[in-house]
Amino acid sequence: MKPFYITTPIYYVNDRPHIGHAYSTIATDVLTRFAKVRGRPTRFLTGLDEHGLKIERRARELGKEPQAFVDEMATPFQEAWKALNCQHDDFIRTTEPRHKERAQAIFQRMVEAGDVYEGEYEDWYCVGCESFKLERELLEGNVCPDHKKPCERIKEKSYFFRLSKYGPKLLEFYEAHPHFVAPQGRYNEVKSFVAEGLRDLSISRTSFKWGIPVPGAPEHVMYVWLDALTNYVTALGGPAEPGEAPLYDRFWANPESQVVHIVGKDILRFHAVYWPAFLMSAGLRLPSQIQAHGWLTINGEKMSKSLGNFLPPVPLAEAVGVDVLRYYLMREVGFGYDGDFSHKNLVARYNGELANGLGNLLNRILPFVEKHFGGVIQPLDEPGELEIELREAARKAAFEANRHLEEVLPHRALDAIWELVAFANRYVDRTEPWKLSKNGDERALARCTTAIIEALAAVSVMAWPFMPGKCDLLRAQIGLPPLEPEEGACMWPFEPRETVAGKKVVKGEALFPRIDAKAEAALLEKLGVKPAEPAAPKDEAPKAKLADEPSKLAEPEGGYITFDDFAKVDLRLGLVRSAEPVPKSDKLLRLKVDLGEAEPRQILAGIRQRYAPEAMVGRRVVVVANLAPRKLLGFTSQGMVLAVGDGDAFSVLGVEGEIAPGSRVS
Ligand code: MSP
């Protein structure tokens, strides 16, 4: 099986870990665990970026020596990943000797390739980005558009890397590797940046000391991004000759190995342009994929210290549970797109999808196994039509979730898994085990309980990369051992299913106890989240019910409508199955929306400016289902998706929880 080597960015230690860092690290952990379940040899690397002007200045501001400062700051990161159950295989710090030596070796290889020359630099530099900036990239007053702080004018002696020479080679490489960067939109940006022509890059600094000395020229320190990017190779013991560094041989030099870098969109250029060029120059292999994710806002606002919403992940995980936080982050945010972390949505998803969805499925079925079969799961030798359908739904979920995880779309994998959970809950509604129990129909009850437990077993494997702790608890309740992936053994539940018959269920505590309004208020208070504004101040609230005093309300413009008028509008819940942009339109998305009918409907929605197609898939939306079909830009729209607001404050109307597609909105 192909080895899988995956990395997070190495984080700057000038600040403590926040939810954005946690998002990257959790995604990387999920993908590693998935590869493990598929039986692949894996290696997960994370670490810290400890050099550079930004860190040096921060240390000095605090009156500390840079080394003492970075040593102190490393601990909260190590503790955070442990608390979030992110099991990295290595944690590299760029101040470690093992890194410094090999980073220098890479520099040396670039020199030997004839790609480094001495010169003098004069340009704008943003210390926040640790990057030189083109004048045309800056805002008025030479302000960096990302950090909103003025750039510094820097003039100093420097070594340069002949990046310009690598432009054509990079373009050729991109052409030959159409999936090198995801999402595609960002790949296109990278390609145009390179196609516009690359300038040579300054790769050393002489005006400060906090960095790795350039080999043979110790008055220079290596540019912090060159130093940092090489961590992906140095942590494996590379560059090295075959046989010298087994990890490097297996995970990097080996052309079979799949090397994936997970990065935020802001650092894509460094990974997709500079890093491959450095590697080409040093004669080393290139990574297989750079997966760029979006940025998180917090309750709709940019995260920043000044807004007081800098969100550290550990207290949050302690309050809501590690697995719940992992699940929420991976489900809420479409990988590759910006997303919002909202405490309210977290609770809503928890109650809808975890408590009512998965937890409830387990609770609904175990008591019958205990009551009728002494807790022993019965064989399912003669599945009926409904059981065959359920098995088919599980098989489909396994294939889809696998495909989405291979394509690094964890949110879509969760959609596929939760479709199975919803399907299984519907199966329970249809088979009504409580009636079978009352009537003493044990044959049918055996079929029903085992069919559900089979589905739960499949979910416990597929959801394990996201929620390892909860899935092992779920497995314990259905008599299965904790999941222990082994190299070479694929455990993904494609087929055959795990044998559950003969195992004994052990009903334990509720996996996901519901969070009621009181508990939610207490949780939000504990987390310091402001309660939502009340809808209207108390003294303005209507004193009597609408039906008692209709005349006191001003009649709406256009007059009242009767209930029958309202009932003419057939509002339905729709589940978006697919979404793609409509060619020649910057407003429209073409959606396929499941309304519980034989075929999903095609609906065109003017939401493209606010929603990326990926972000729509899997959403439950409100649809006007009986609107006359209408042709737009060559496509027939068979309904309308409701939305509210305009500009940035714009949202499609959604629905919480696993309500079945086609349900009537009333
Ligand atoms: N040290 C460099 C990376 C070097 S990799 C060879 C760096 N560090 S960082 O600490 O500033 O950022 C690390 C990662 O955190 C980046 O991928 C960045 O996109 C991500 N995030 C920072 N804030 C974020 C959010 N608000 N949301 C999601 N991710 C964000 O850059």
Query: Is residue 303 within 6 Å of ligand 1 at its C-beta?
Result: yes
Q: CB within 8 A of 262, min separation 6: which ones?
A: 6, 7, 8, 9, 24, 27, 28, 31, 291, 293
pLDDT for residue 86: 98
- Among 86, 129, 151, 448, which one carries the catalytic annotation? 129
Mean pLDDT of 510-515: 95
> How many Å apart are CA 663 and CA 571, to the nearest integer?
9
Query: Is residue 223 within 6 Å of ligand 1 at its C-beta?
Result: no
Counting every residue, how long is the chain?
666
In this prediction, residue 560 has a pLDDT band, given cuts at 50, 70 and 90, of confident
Kindly report the protein residue whose alpha carbon is nearest to atom 22 of ligand 1.
20
Quick one: 532 exposed, middle or buried, by C-beta within 10 A (0-12, 13-18, 19+)?
exposed
> Higher confidence at residue 325 or residue 597?
325
pLDDT for residue 554: 55
Query: Is residue 296 within 6 Å of ligand 1 at its C-beta?
Result: yes
> 225: which 2 tokens?
């991004």
Mean pLDDT of 155-174: 96
**pTM score, two decimals?**
0.81
Kindly tell me if the per-residue pLDDT of 537 is higher than 50. no
In this prediction, residue 599 has a pLDDT band, given cuts at 50, 70 and 90, of confident
Annotated catalytic residue 147: yes
Kindly report the protein residue whose alpha carbon is nearest to atom 25 of ligand 1.
20
The Cβ-side half-sphere exposure at 193, using a 13 Å CA radius, reads 17
State the DSSP code for 18.
Answer: -
Annotated catalytic residue 18: yes
Amino acid letter, residue 263? V
What is the per-residue pLDDT across 49-77, written as a single tens digit (0 to 9) for each? 999 999 999 999 999 999 999 999 999 99
Mean pLDDT of 191-216: 95
Query: Is residue 266 within 6 Å of ligand 1 at its C-beta?
Result: yes
State the DSSP code for 516.
Answer: -
Query: Is residue 23 within 6 Å of ligand 1 at its C-beta?
Result: yes
Q: Give Cα 185 to chain centroid, integer Å.
A: 17
User: Does residue 513 have a cis peptide bond before it, meaning omega lies within 30 degrees of 0?
Assistant: no
- Among 155, 302, 371, 504, which one carries the catalytic annotation? 302
What is the per-residue pLDDT across 312-321, written as a single tens digit (0 to 9) for each? 999 999 999 9
Kindly report the protein residue whose alpha carbon is nearest to atom 16 of ligand 1.
264
Query: Is residue 10 within 6 Å of ligand 1 at its C-beta?
Result: yes
> 56: which 2 tokens?
């040096």
Annotated catalytic residue 126: yes
The dihedral sign for the CA sequence 431, 433, 438, 441: positive
Contact (Cβ atoms closer than 8 angstroms) between residue 262 and residue 291? yes
Å from CA of 11 to ligand 1 middle: 6
Kindly state the percentage of the chain with pLDDT values over 70: 94
Kindly report the protein residue whose alpha carbon is nearest to atom 19 of ligand 1.
264
Query: Is residue 20 within 6 Å of ligand 1 at its C-beta?
Result: yes
Kindly tell me if the per-residue pLDDT of 139 is higher than 70. yes
Query: Is residue 12 within 6 Å of ligand 1 at its C-beta?
Result: yes
pLDDT for residue 646: 73
- Among 82, 147, 504, 526, which one carries the catalytic annotation? 147
> Higher confidence at residue 649 or residue 533?
649
Å from CA of 23 to ligand 1 middle: 10
> How many Å apart are CA 643 and CA 252, to the nearest integer?
48
Annotated catalytic residue 302: yes
pLDDT for residue 392: 97
What is the per-residue pLDDT across 238-277, written as a single tens digit (0 to 9) for each? 999 999 999 999 999 999 999 999 999 999 999 999 999 9
By C-alpha distance, which of 223, 293, 299 is closest to 263? 293
* Average pLDDT taken over every residue of the chain: 91
Checking 641-644 for CB contacts under 8 A at 24+ apart, the result is 641/574, 641/591, 641/593, 641/603, 641/605, 641/607, 642/571, 643/605, 643/607
> How many Å apart are CA 661 and CA 651, to the nearest integer?
20
pLDDT for residue 586: 86
In this prediction, residue 534 has a pLDDT band, given cuts at 50, 70 and 90, of very low
Kindly report the protein residue whose alpha carbon is nearest to atom 17 of ligand 1.
264
Atom of ligand 1 nearest to the CA of 271: 6
Query: Is residue 166 within 6 Å of ligand 1 at its C-beta?
Result: no
Give first-to-last CA distance, the chain, whole Å. 53
> Which spans in 343-441 are helix H?
343-349, 360-373, 385-406, 410-431, 433-439
By C-alpha distance, which of 354, 657, 655, 343 is closest to 521? 343
> Which spans in 516-575 are helix H?
517-526, 563-567
Mean pLDDT of 291-302: 92
Kindly tell me if the per-residue pLDDT of 641 is higher than 90. yes
Atom of ligand 1 nearest to the CA of 49: 1
pLDDT for residue 546: 36
In this prediction, residue 174 has a pLDDT band, given cuts at 50, 70 and 90, of very high
Query: Is residue 295 within 6 Å of ligand 1 at its C-beta?
Result: yes
Atom of ligand 1 nearest to the CA of 298: 26
Kindly tell me if the per-residue pLDDT of 535 is higher than 70. no
pLDDT for residue 556: 63
> How many Å apart are CA 314 and CA 370, to the nearest integer?
38
Contact (Cβ atoms closer than 8 angstroms) between residue 225 and residue 131? yes
Kindly report the protein residue whose alpha carbon is nearest to atom 30 of ligand 1.
20
pLDDT for residue 611: 86
